[in-house]
Structure 1
Amino acid sequence: MQDLEIYIRDLKSGAVSGWLESHLDELKLDDNEVSGVVNGSARYQGESLRIALYPGAFGKRFTSLVIEGERLPWSSDLDCARSAWRAMDTEIRCSPGDWKEGEPVEAEKWWRLDHRGEQQVVWN
């Protein structure tokens, strides 16, 4: 199982489903109001995907999006973040890709994509 995870700042109603519907089949995701965890599903190249939105990640302004499955439409968190940024036009952040669960994150650099471009930044 593979996964992609990005963080979306100031998520607007319907923005994730609006973006994903052009990349996935059979999308079932009600993101009209994300006040708590939202679970959804979709298919990509015939494989089932699980989708979850977690509001309040890294402070109240970001929502974590996790997509899990055997095949994914993007090869990395950064590729996924780039696609999301183009579609949603709001700040998107993601891990640089070398972090593993359980490792400290205090000084970790994250990719930030926004109107200033792509930059590696410390989260805080």
Structure 2
Amino acid sequence: MQDLEIYIRDLKPLAASQWLSSHLDQLELDDQQVDAKAIKGRALYEGVTVNISLYPGASGKRYTCLVLEGASLPWNTDLEIARSAWRSMDTEVRCSPGEWKEGEPVEDEKWWRLDDRGEQLVVWN
């Protein structure tokens, strides 16, 4: 099972579903109101189910965490999906560089930040 996770700043209603609908089939995601505790959806990719979760208010009020889970996804890494989301939504997107593992200290943890300044590894705060 593949699992991709990104954080989208100031996500606008329907922006995630409009972007994802160009990459996934039979998308079922009601992101009309992006202030719910969690928004669950699903779609198909290459005929296989993809589970979609949106978590508004993640890592501070301005970010929404998007998680995609499936046997196969249109992207292979968090950075690939972040690039696609940023190009489509034109808002800051962040993701893990993939080096951190659960249980490791996070003091100097770096994240990819994609925005109009480009792609940079930054400390989250």
What TM-score results when the alignment is normalised by the length of structure 1? 0.97
The residue type equivalent to 1:7 in the other structure is Y
Once residues 66 and 26 of structure 2 are traced to their aligned partners in structure 1, the CA distance between those partners, rounded to angstroms, is 18
The aligned amino acid for 1:21 is: S
C-alpha distance in 2, partners of 1:45/1:104? 38
- Report the CA distance between 1:7 and its aligned residue: 0.1
Residue in 2 aligned with 1:3? Answer: 3
Residue 33 of structure 1 aligns to which amino acid in structure 2?
A: Q
Unaligned regions of 5+ residues in structure 2, if any? none
CA RMSD of aligned residues (A): 0.7
Which residue of structure 1 lines up, in the alignment, with residue 46 of structure 2? 45
1:69-115 CA distances to partner (integer Å, 9 max, x unpaired)? Answer: 00011010000000000000000000001122232222100000000
Q: How does 1:64-79 map to 2 (within 5 A)?
A: 64-79=65-80
Q: Match of 1:69, as an amino acid?
A: G
Tell me the residue number matched to 2:121. 120
* Structure 1: distance between partners of 2:45 and 2:103: 29
Aligned length in residues: 124
**1:1-124 correspondence to structure 2 within 5 Å:** 1-35=1-35, 36-124=37-125
Q: Provide the secondary structure at the position in 2 that maps to 1:26.
A: strand
- 1:101 and 1:72 mapped to 2: Cα distance? 23
Gaps of 5+ in 1: none
Q: What's the CA shift string for 1:18-77, capped at 9, x where partnerless?
A: 000000001000001022200000000111010000011110000000000000110100
Normalised by the length of structure 2, the TM-score is 0.97
